[in-house]
Structure 1
């Protein structure tokens, strides 16, 4: 292996190679070292390697005592490795290097050392690019996770205020130091700030959640023009100070003053058909203004929020239509002597809130009070339409034929079978018979329906299981020849009769037997307070205790008067008048009734949390 071979290796090794003597002076430089440093071997030979080449990143000298490359010469070590070093090129620039040193021995004597180095800039640029890509991916992942969390929050409720209070904490502090949501309906000069969240210890400044100052027509139009597009609007504190009458100054000034603000992004919340309001996300103190990428994310969140608010609007409109339809189908209660009645209707937990359950109470042509509770198969508008058919048939048959309930049921079964496409239905049809002052008797039949519950004033309870027969629409269709036997039961003074649909006593998580036992238990407890409660109070507390869920619930309760109350010669004062409230539409009244029926807030809503 001669000198030519060694020269070829050093020439083509692909790395810079320098040799230095024991004093640190350069004795040899291969061609690759000349290329990397922009210096010829002749110009480097004899110069101290540290003084000539070793520099910091900015080109300033490195103290000799801190030069790790010279360690083998100072300490006689076996060699060193390093990467955070720079060599000075001939043009005054620096080149980052990765290097290694090896002691050089000739004939067994220490002759200096060899320095092998590579240009580390390409690798460093690759690492920096990789780090930048990693950071960009992490930022993208964070924003995708944010958008996913936002979407989940927007789908979690159909209440705009609750939706906003779930959304804003997701934006603070990641997207800003505070966030606020304003609802400003189109065509109105008034708006409302329904939610605010601040980064100060995660506070919710409820004092800022309030109606916004009304805008003049000109100001309102200016705001709509500024937010007419889908793009967010950037606002700075300086702009608000310079132009106090700017379109967005009025709603933003309070937020900037109370929560601090250097800049904010205001995102319009709208769909193609409707403008709902704005989402404002602000930054205070030393926080920089939002970057373009952050504004794009807020713009996407604004579009999602606008669609969610539109869905909330559609949901409530649909629910209001369904509720109005249901109330029109339900019957108002008649005022009959000293009898007192109450009715409640709880729709299934769905947007339509309409179904086949119903109650009814009306006076017959012979002066008898009729009571009905029923359930047509289904929980939608078709079920409600069928319910109205069956109810009206039953009313007409009961009015036109002064016959026992068993005969009325047979006539109804045949009429439903041959004149309607209504599916099968369950119901209880009862006559409350007796002279004014009593005694009173219940005369009834049951068509596949849960039995009525009789609750005495002393707290005794029993289900009235007599009079049981097939469902309406089953006997005639199948030609079974089944019938409904008439049943009778005395109604003691101060007792309460409960008619109800299966939604009160049955659910997916509870069998009907357990539900009936629960109904009987709570009714017995409440019966001992009857002297202190109206029949309306009784129904409301019973629903609150049972808390039915999942299916429609109809409930009809009849409270019997004291013995002899209302009879000729009776001077005792009558009980309080029957409550004007019922689930029926407020502008309807029972036939022949003169009782005014103002719209009353539904007290049963407190019994069923959203």
Structure 2
């Protein structure tokens, strides 16, 4: 596989390497690279490296025209006369057969090439370039007759590469279907129909989409539950859903009496859509048959032939892998969410205090992580509050978080000492009896005095400082009581800090996922959080937390745990015991 290097400085701003494209480029089987909108190379496969004798780190970030294109005598052609560069700029497919690329040693290679627009990811677009030595075209199987509306060999390669990249770059099943439809329409057909087999072995017509010019129009009335898969039916869709075979079909296929409910639905589909030629293939993963893909042509030129089936099957196989991955991820996510719900506690009821919590998992992990919150009543009537962060956002971090939280509860309950003494005891125990290597936390005690005032005492072990917001919108961070994070092995005394909580104030404990954002400093994040919290001081507490998360917009690179507490708007003396 080709090597990649990360560019720095000006080069990085011009062309960001995209290593995730490499598997798709390797699957093409001949020289292929991708350029960005400016024509700079962002990924290349190993065939390019071998043929040009240039490692990927010499290619990535370079202008492809300036680096490679030469005329027959070795001169560089003017950019304005380069048809490949013009295709980059126009974002249109193009081909050429009388070009030269320069190898690292200065020798020239006569090449033929094709380019096609290529979505890099998200909103970024680029161009896929596939090339080979003239007279050494890659063998793609016999295609003696090219019907109207079919693709050239290079267009087929480009489509398969784009299919692999787009479908495997998401773990959302609905997004996989949406991208699949966008890939095949209108390039291969003007209708796309996707039938999926559910976990209960039922069939659901998940998508019926028509290409109307450049627009993709869903036909929801044709979607929905389907009859069961017939075990013996020889009809094309039934065979595809059983994973038996691919087939071609037309209106004549369904003119006879239907042998099953699925055949009747196919008759309705052809009659309603006007499809005159269709290719029907299984969507089959290595583990199971997931459904079937039907591509139909009504006004699209040409009819499907048996030569088209391998391409549609290849696309369906790539879709099956993506769907299988999405389904596995969803199942893992449900298990992880259940685990997280059991790990994070319910808030206690404390007369006079309001509390609300929120947890946002890192979306790229398994929906669990090392960020946590806790609140519980102590034997002396005080309320303990804690927010912490165990390094990582995976199952291992979640397990470490559970260990740490349970030990903290036990020490806080049994010792009834100051927060600093409890955290010091916890720090001593981390290395010998837990799997946690590094963690931060804030532990606090909230008590009500005899005159009804609420008091907060806390210690901070390397964690972002609590934020206190008055009901008038004055907000400041509680920076006292700060000490080392947990797990360093240092035995430095920890400090406590104490503050009286004003009536109607809001105390916010949170983890760093709320304030860390790429390209911004922690001070930027703290300032942004303080400003938004102050502006929301008058909101009811549940609305305060929801709106704060909405306005701060955590980037989602890490978990976020948030605990908000609000004191009564007026002092009330606690009844004597």
When normalised by structure 2's length, the TM-score is 0.69
Partner of 2:496: 486
Q: Is residue 141 from structure 1 mapped to residue 147 from structure 2 by the alignment?
A: no
Distance change (3 Å), C-alpha of 1:195 and 1:346 = farther
Q: Is residue 537 from structure 1 mapped to residue 543 from structure 2 by the alignment?
A: yes
Distance of 2:294 and 2:518 partners within structure 1: 44
Q: Is residue 176 from structure 1 mapped to residue 176 from structure 2 by the alignment?
A: no
Instruction: Give the conservation status (yes or no) of the 8 Å contact 1:315–1:351.
Output: no
Distance change (3 Å), C-alpha of 1:172 and 1:188 = same
Q: Is residue 521 from structure 1 mapped to residue 527 from structure 2 by the alignment?
A: no
Partner of 1:210: 223
**1:80-114 deviation per Cα after TM superposition (whole angstroms, max 9, x unaligned):** xxxxxxxxxxxxxxxxxxxxxxxxxxxxxxxxxxx
Distance of 1:484 and 1:139 partners within structure 2: 71
Partner of 2:520: 510
SS of corresponding position for 1:204: strand
Q: Is residue 260 from structure 1 mapped to residue 267 from structure 2 by the alignment?
A: no
**1:265-302 deviation per Cα after TM superposition (whole angstroms, max 9, x unaligned):** 11111224322211111122585431222111111111
Distance change (3 Å), C-alpha of 1:456 and 1:337 = same
Distance of 1:502 and 1:369 partners within structure 2: 23
**1:127-184 deviation per Cα after TM superposition (whole angstroms, max 9, x unaligned):** xxxxx99979971111111212222221232222222222223222332221111222
What are the ranges of 5 or more consecutive residues in structure 2 without an aligned counterpart? 1-142
**1:476-519 deviation per Cα after TM superposition (whole angstroms, max 9, x unaligned):** x23xx411111111111111000011111113322111100000
Q: Is residue 166 from structure 1 mapped to residue 179 from structure 2 by the alignment?
A: yes
Alignment of 1:23-34 (within 5 A): none
Distance of 1:163 and 1:313 partners within structure 2: 11
SS of corresponding position for 2:259: coil
SS of corresponding position for 1:488: strand
Aligned Cα root-mean-square deviation (Å): 2.7
CA apart distance, 1:198:
2.6
CA apart distance, 1:321:
2.1
Partner of 1:367: 381
Distance change (3 Å), C-alpha of 1:255 and 1:371 = same
Distance of 1:443 and 1:566 partners within structure 2: 20
Instruction: Give the conservation status (yes or no) of the 8 Å contact 2:173–2:327.
Output: no
Distance of 1:252 and 1:331 partners within structure 2: 52
Q: 2:250 aligns with which of 225, 229, 236?
A: 236
Distance of 1:220 and 1:347 partners within structure 2: 47
Q: Tell which structure's C-alpha radius of gyration is larger.
A: 1
Partner of 1:412: 426
CA apart distance, 1:331:
1.4
What are the ranges of 5 or more consecutive residues in structure 1 without an aligned counterpart? 1-131, 570-610
Partner of 2:464: 450
CA apart distance, 1:219:
8.8
Instruction: Give the conservation status (yes or no) of the 8 Å contact 2:465–2:478.
Output: yes
Distance of 1:487 and 1:494 partners within structure 2: 21
Q: Is residue 337 from structure 1 mapped to residue 337 from structure 2 by the alignment?
A: no
Partner of 2:327: 313
SS of corresponding position for 2:544: helix
Distance of 1:286 and 1:510 partners within structure 2: 50
**1:434-473 deviation per Cα after TM superposition (whole angstroms, max 9, x unaligned):** 1588210001111111110000100000111111111122
Distance of 1:138 and 1:211 partners within structure 2: 32
Partner of 1:377: 391
Q: 1:396 aligns with which of 410, 413, 420?
A: 410
Distance of 2:404 and 2:234 partners within structure 1: 54
Q: 1:156 aligns with which of 155, 169, 192?
A: 169
Instruction: Give the conservation status (yes or no) of the 8 Å contact 2:467–2:475.
Output: yes
**1:332-361 deviation per Cα after TM superposition (whole angstroms, max 9, x unaligned):** 111111211111111123141222111100
